[in-house]
A and B are shown apart, each in its own frame.
Chain A
Amino acid sequence: MKLTDLKRGESARIVKIGKIGELKKRLVDMGVTAGEVIRLERNAPLGDPQEFIVKSTNIAIRKQDAQNIEVEKN
């Protein structure tokens, strides 16, 4: 499933980060790598971007990018 399919408060394991150019490198540098658990914390009040927690770090990315991250539920 896609990262954007998560509901608020749900967690999943990252399977693969697809081709999102430079953003992938930046995400990987922040610890968003395959095998990590990622949790959807909340959507921004206007729906986009979304806030996630990985490795006790809160990050926000836009939905169009989150769509390219594949995750699976445990």
Chain B
Amino acid sequence: MIKIAFTGNPNVGKSALINAIAGSNLKVGNWAGVTVEKKEAEFEYKGEKIQCIDLPGVYSLSPYTLEEMITRDFIINEKPDVVINIVDSTNLERNLYLTMLLKELGRPMIMALNFYDEFEKLNYKLDTKKFEELVEMDVVMTSATKKTGLQELLDRALEIAKNKKDEVEYTLLFDNCLQDAIEVVKCKINCDETLLKASKKFGINFLAIKLIERDSHLLEILKEEYGYSLDQEIVKSAEQLELDHDEDVETILAEGRYGTVKGILARTFTTSMKSRLDFTDKIDRILLNKYLGLPIFLLIIVGLMGTVFNGSAPLIDWVDGFVNNYIGKYVGMLIDENTPAWLASLVVDGILGGVGGVVVFVPLMLYLYFFLALLEESGYMSRVAFLMDRIMTKLGLNGKAFVPMVLGFGCTVPAIYATRTLEDDSSRRLTAAMAPFMSCGARLPVYGLFTAAFFGAKAGLVVMSLYVLGITVAILTGLILKNFKMFKSEGKALLIELPPYRVPSLRVIVKSTLTRTTSYLKKATTIIMGMLMILWALTYFPNNGDTANSYMAKFGKTFQGVLKPTGFADRWETVAAIPPSLAAKEIVVGFMAQVLVGDNGAQEEEEEAPTTFFEDTTEQVVGLGIAIKDSVLAVVSFDVKGLFSVPEASEIEEEGNGIVAATKMLWTDNLAPLRAYSFMVYILLVVPCVVTLGAIKQEFGYKFTGFIIGLLLVVPYVVSTLIFQIGRLFF
């Protein structure tokens, strides 16, 4: 098998290129132990098995950031047969710096000069022959959008890989005094047995440079694995260098590399007067404008939410109906009188319900990933950080954390996945801990029911206050959490590159959308299904479907005492509704219907006229057509108000007969509205649905998920109690 590693700066079109080469074989995962995306593909080409690994985009190979460590360690430890070094041909000087660093690692390499179509448009010229000679590797012009050079790149990479060179010793072209210092260390390495052994692994150039740099990461490894500690002679020569240059060695070396790059370009490259930044500058004058910048950004965010949540809503309804009414009906037919009632219920309510719970999110994910990819590929995403940084620093976060928070208003699940756009783990965690407090769409039916029952005309105001409360609690929680070590991201100064705007290729966006959605589906199923099954069992047993006497009801009665201070716990029904709300917050409404009104609502559905398989299928296909049409209409209409509108009382009534009236009877004392409000606050702030938990587990692991669950049990308890206890003083 041939192992090809793809590496390059961020924003050099690496993903587009690897997508174009590996196509549908691309699998997305995580690097072991971290949430940095790992894209891999295996396929056969010309009778050879090829494995492509897309390394994270980096500017350098220092041990400071996770991405750089992954890239550097992968090339050193896994020794890929060939490294494809992707370079943005419109920004050669900066991009070639990484090339110089990669050369130090001494692996067989090939360079892809990407965006070559743009390069030509700018009238830049490069003497390729001479350039190849100077950078000491093959160079192929590529363009992922135009699909040029891809085949040649792969062919040449294969050729190099088949030559099976273990190490390539490239020439380093530093100035004399630097070169001398490196040569001295190289001599030392050749004389020292342990260092010689280490140089087999790291390559002699890399080892020599890292020794002069006194790179802490590498020195640790040398000490642990080889029992080597730094030579005094090396330390002295490094200190002399620093004294001569009045700079630290790392900077001297970096400047040396840039010098080399300048030298190479001076002999091979001619630029034109045209600048690739003209177009970008024109757009940024509007999008980053002092006065227009923020309003436009808010419009884009509102548009994004409107499109993602409103646009996917008709499709979500269709998928829901497809699973429950269509698949559910035919699965139901397989169950005959001999099937035990619990098994029938497990299959229909437990398993099918669970599958439904996961797949209804697919349209949402498709829309979300599509528009996030659009923002990323076009270059706007990094501008978000630029615009919002000032505000978000107050929370110890940087500007990028704004997007996941806003998405949380629609649905917490994509908000959790969107934390991936943040670069450090502590910010990711802090954002993920705050996002669940944003009031998501699924809470609206619950608000609808309880405001209809207890607040009447003031419903809108009450719901608005819940939104504000959610935001306030999120900010307060953030302010407190940011002082803890796990969330502290101080010292992480902001440095963002604002890449030039590019018209993104639709194919690339669609591909990345599909890859990410399928990886959601694959991984989301296990944990979520398991938890939904448990919740099903707790509401079904021990009395086979009698909810009012289920374990869940017992749970409610048991925990009434603990929750007493919150004010809503004098009725066990509300307490018992909390665990099922984990399946999905809107289930509270259904649960209330079951325990307060009884099961008569469900019976009516059975009396529909029998339909044939053909009729059912046609109905589903027609329904899909309508859903697609509605979805498009919803995207075009930009109806943002719809996102925040609470369902009407009449709509809720359809869920079960007389549920609003029954809910009204929950409390009749003069504190009733306060109790209802306290309950809504609790549902707003309590542990989010299992799909969100699944996402958190997937991104941050079990330990952090446990922490979030704990946090989201304490916070709602405290807030609800405060609201009730303080509120009652005024009633």
Which residue numbers of A lie inside 8 Å of B, CB to CB? 17, 20-31, 33-35, 41-49, 51, 53, 55-62, 65
Contacts and interface: CB of A to CB of B under 8 A. Distances in A.
Contacts of A29: 59-60, 62, 97, 254
B276 A42 contact: no
A60 B386 contact: yes
Given A31-B258, A59-B497, A45 B289 contact: yes
B708 to A, nearest CB: 29
A64 to B, nearest CB: 8
A34 B277 CA distance: 23
Given A28-B250, A42-B288, A49 B258 contact: no
B495 interface: yes
In the A-B complex, the 4 residue pairs with the smallest Cβ-Cβ separation, listed nearest first, are: A29-B60, A46-B390, A23-B493, A58-B498
A31 B64 CA distance: 17
B94 interface: yes
A25 B64 contact: yes
A39 to B, nearest CB: 11
Interface of B: 59-60, 62, 64, 91, 93-94, 97, 247, 250-251, 254-255, 258, 275-277, 280-281, 284, 288-291, 293-294, 385-387, 389-391, 393, 491, 493-500
A53 B60 CA distance: 19
A16 B386 CA distance: 25
B261 to A, nearest CB: 9
Given A33-B255, A45-B289, 11 more contacts: A22-B64, A22-B491, A28-B254, A28-B255, A29-B62, A45-B288, A45-B293, A45-B294, A56-B275, A56-B276, A57-B497
Nearest to B281: A41
Contacts, number: 118
Contacts of B251: 17, 24-25, 28, 33
A59 B496 contact: yes
B494 A49 contact: yes
26 contacts: A25-B60, A26-B60, A28-B250, A33-B255, A33-B258, A44-B288, A44-B390, A45-B293, A45-B387, A46-B387, A46-B390, A46-B391, A47-B390, A48-B390, A49-B390, A49-B496, A51-B288, A55-B91, A57-B91, A58-B280, A58-B497, A58-B500, A59-B498, A60-B495, A60-B496, A62-B389
B277 A58 contact: yes
A57 B276 CA distance: 10
A13 B281 CA distance: 22
Contacts of A62: 389, 393, 493-494
Given A31-B97, A31-B258, A51 B389 contact: no
A26 B387 contact: no
Given A22-B491, A62-B493, A49 B91 contact: no
A27 B59 CA distance: 10
A25 B62 contact: yes
A29 B495 CA distance: 12
B91 A26 contact: no
Contact of A31 (B93, B385, B386): B93
B387 A44 contact: yes
Contacts of B97: 29, 31
Contacts of A65: 493-494
B386 to A, nearest CB: 5
Given A55-B93, A58-B497, A60-B386, A26 B276 contact: no
A49 to B, nearest CB: 5
Contacts of A34: 247, 255
A20 B337 CA distance: 75
Contacts of A49: 386, 389-390, 494, 496
Nearest to A45: B293
B94 A57 contact: yes
A26 B294 contact: no
Contacts of A59: 495-498
Nearest to B68: A29
A28 B280 CA distance: 24
A26 B254 contact: no
Contacts of A51: 288, 386, 498
Contact of B495 (A41, A42, A45, A61): A61
A59 B94 CA distance: 12
A61 B497 CA distance: 9
B397 to A, nearest CB: 13
Highest count of chain B CB atoms <10 Å: which of A35, A60, A65 = A60
B422 to A, nearest CB: 16
Contact of B94 (A24, A30, A41, A48): A30
B277 A56 contact: yes
Nearest to B293: A45
B295 to A, nearest CB: 9
Nearest to B11: A57
A25 to B, nearest CB: 6
